[in-house]
């Protein structure tokens, strides 16, 4: 998830415990007692930052290393200022690959010089190791990922209506048709409004199917504009989206309602009864972070480790796709110093990070490693997401996060919102996005 998207989510996720964040960032130094201090800067703050610091403090005990993490809600600006002013932290954690890549020439150390890239990434999904690879060198690897290719549902509502969880796209579309025919409610809960960031949830819908219909190579070509928005592949992805959430009776209020409904509030109607009259809906495609937006009673149930009130299944891959894929985001570790202590910290961050408590405390956390022990996870949804990544052939890092900001956080959002609301056609939207692409 981008920093811009993260800002819409600050304070929404819940933890199993609240922690106090300790330490602030400065330049690398030698602390009292001979310990080497390693500084880390990132975009996550408050409870997530506290959980991150606590894990690293536990890991570093007895190693002669003191790790100090500093989080900033204004990370993108602050890291650019720090680096260009010669005050870079030892390690930085980037939610946006584009920002990371823009700083490669500013003293960033290839991770190839710090860790064995091939060994570290041997159990990661195709696509993850190459997010920040430039000219054959790896400048960033994920310590943490999130998964968006999940469909959330209310097991009690499914049971009451006699519905079963689909395992294929054909079964999903059949279930959608059955819900509409039954008149028991609406198949989908969808909102793409987001307090000044309207439209980003729709970019995720497109990305799901560009990745699957086009495969990783064409997906990456789309990110760099080698493949246009106004292309057969993107139109094919759009047609798939239209067949689902734009189908008559699929979403309460249709496209206009989707465009004006807050993405977080849309899922509330998973947990109402009363059918169409009450606005009841049965499924919601959204990321692992969405549980923090559910009603408090549902959040409490999630935090207890229960799947009785809400559960999730992987979004199935449609017929005609060239690959199965998982869409998501993550936080990339990059380094500005090369010394023994930094090597140890980077090695832990991109390897076994989370084994000292982070993944049990911050229950939205997910390791990028398919062989990561499930016993380190506290939430059943971490395990569901982990299995979705492991079973997919490729991992697609959020495309809009990697496009130029004027497009990925600008014209794509606005034009897809207008298309959703019915004020412009799909062709108009796609052509307008292409026309807005910055000149090289």
CATH of the domain at 49: 3.40.190.10
Say whether both 218 and 94 belong to one domain. Answer: no
Is 412 in the same domain as 375?
no
Same domain, 135 and 194: no
In the chain, DSSP finds a helix count (H) and a strand count (E) of 18, 13
Domain shared by 86 and 200, yes or no = no
Backbone region of residue 23 per phi and psi (left: phi > 0; alpha: psi in -120 to 50; beta: other values): left
Specify whether 132 is located in the same domain as 221.
Answer: no
Same-domain pairing of 412 and 352: no
Is 96 part of any domain? yes
What pLDDT, on a 0 to 100 scale, did the predictor assign at position 364? 87
Quick one: 340 and 213 in the same domain? no
Number of Cβ atoms within 10 Å of the Cβ of 100: 22
Q: Does a structural domain hold residue 291? A: no
Provide the domain count of the chain: 2
Structural domain contains residue 211: yes
Evaluate whether residue 336 is within a structural domain.
yes
Domain residues for the domain of 350 are 3-146+328-390
Residues 117 and 209 in one domain: no
Claim to verify: residue 68 and residue 137 sit in the same structural domain: yes
Residue 307 lies in a domain: no
pTM above 0.85, yes or no: yes
**Tokens, residue 408:** 């990925």
Residues 95, 163 within the same domain: no
Do 123 and 254 lie in a common domain?
no
Q: What is the residue-level pLDDT of the chain in tens, covering all 440 positions? A: 444 454 444 433 333 333 233 333 334 444 444 579 999 999 999 999 999 999 999 999 999 999 999 999 999 999 999 999 999 999 999 998 989 999 999 999 999 999 999 999 999 999 999 999 999 999 999 999 999 999 999 999 999 999 999 999 999 999 999 999 999 999 999 999 999 899 999 999 999 999 999 999 999 999 999 999 999 999 999 999 999 999 999 999 999 999 999 999 999 999 999 999 999 999 999 999 899 999 999 999 998 999 999 999 999 999 999 999 999 999 999 999 999 999 999 999 999 999 999 999 998 899 999 999 999 999 999 999 999 999 999 999 999 989 998 999 999 999 999 999 999 999 999 999 999 999 87
What pLDDT does residue 8 have?
A: 40
Across the strands, what pairs with 41? 70, 92
Pairing of strands 65-71, 133-134: unpaired
Contacts of 40 (CB under 8 A, 6+ apart): 25, 56, 67, 68, 69, 70, 89, 90, 91, 92, 93, 345
Residues 152, 310: Cα–Cα separation, whole Å: 7
Is there a domain that residue 300 lies in?
Answer: no
For residue 440, being part of any structural domain is answered with no
Question: Does 52 map to a domain?
Answer: yes
Compute the 3-state secondary structure of the chain and give helix, strand, coil in percent, each to the nearest 5. Answer: 45, 15, 40
Of 72, 324, 359, nearest to 208 by C-alpha is: 324
257 and 276 share one domain = yes
The pLDDT of residue 14: 34
């Amino acid at each position: 998830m981008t920093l811009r998207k993260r800002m819409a989510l600050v304070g929404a996720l819940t933890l199993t415990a609240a922690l106090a964040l300790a330490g602030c960032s400065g330049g690398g130094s030698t602390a009292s007692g001979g310990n080497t201090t390693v500084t880390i800067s990132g975009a996550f703050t408050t409870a997530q930052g506290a959980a991150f610091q606590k894990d690293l403090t536990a890991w570093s005990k007895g190693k002669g290393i003191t790790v100090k993490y500093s989080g900033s809600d204004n990370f993108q600006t602050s890291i650019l200022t720090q680096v260009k002013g010669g005050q870079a932290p030892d390690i930085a954690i980037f939610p946006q690959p584009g920002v990371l890549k823009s700083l490669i020439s500013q003293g960033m150390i290839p991770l190839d010089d710090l860790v064995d890239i091939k060994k570290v990434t041997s159990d990661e999904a195709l696509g993850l190791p190459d997010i920040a690879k430039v000219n054959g060198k790896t400048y960033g690897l994920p310590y943490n990922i999130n998964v968006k290719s999940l469909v959330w549902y209310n097991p009690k509502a499914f049971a009451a209506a006699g519905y079963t969880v689909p395992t294929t796209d054909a079964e999903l579309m059949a279930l959608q048709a059955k819900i509409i025919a039954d008149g028991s409610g609406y198949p989908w809960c969808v909102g793409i409004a987001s307090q000044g960031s309207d439209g980003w949830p729709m970019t995720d819908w497109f990305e799901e199917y560009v990745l699957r219909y086009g495969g990783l190579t064409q997906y990456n070509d789309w990110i760099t504009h080698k493949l246009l928005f106004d292309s057969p592949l993107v139109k094919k992805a759009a047609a798939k989206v239209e067949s689902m959430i734009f189908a008559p009776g699929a979403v309460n209020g249709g496209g206009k309602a989707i465009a004006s409904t807050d993405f977080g509030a849309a899922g509330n109607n998973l947990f109402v009864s009363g059918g169409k009259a009450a606005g009841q809906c049965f499924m919601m495609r959204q990321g692992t972070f969405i549980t923090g937006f559910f009603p408090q009673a549902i959040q409490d149930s999630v935090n207890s480790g229960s799947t009785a009130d809400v559960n999730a299944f992987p979004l199935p891959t449609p017929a005609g796709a060239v690959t199965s894929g998982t869409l998501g985001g993550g936080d990339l570790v990059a380094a500005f110093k090369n010394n023994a202590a930094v090597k140890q910290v980077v090695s832990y961050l991109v390897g076994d990070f989370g084994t000292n408590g982070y993944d049990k405390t911050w229950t939205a956390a997910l390791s990028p490693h398919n062989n990561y022990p499930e016993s380190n996870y506290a939430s059943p949804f971490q395990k569901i997401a982990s299995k979705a990544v492991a079973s997919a052939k490729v991992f697609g890092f959020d495309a809009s996060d990697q496009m130029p900001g004027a497009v990925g956080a600008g014209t794509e959002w606005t034009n897809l919102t207008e298309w959703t609301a019915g004020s412009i056609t799909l062709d108009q939207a796609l052509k307008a996005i292409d026309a807005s692409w910055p000149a090289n």
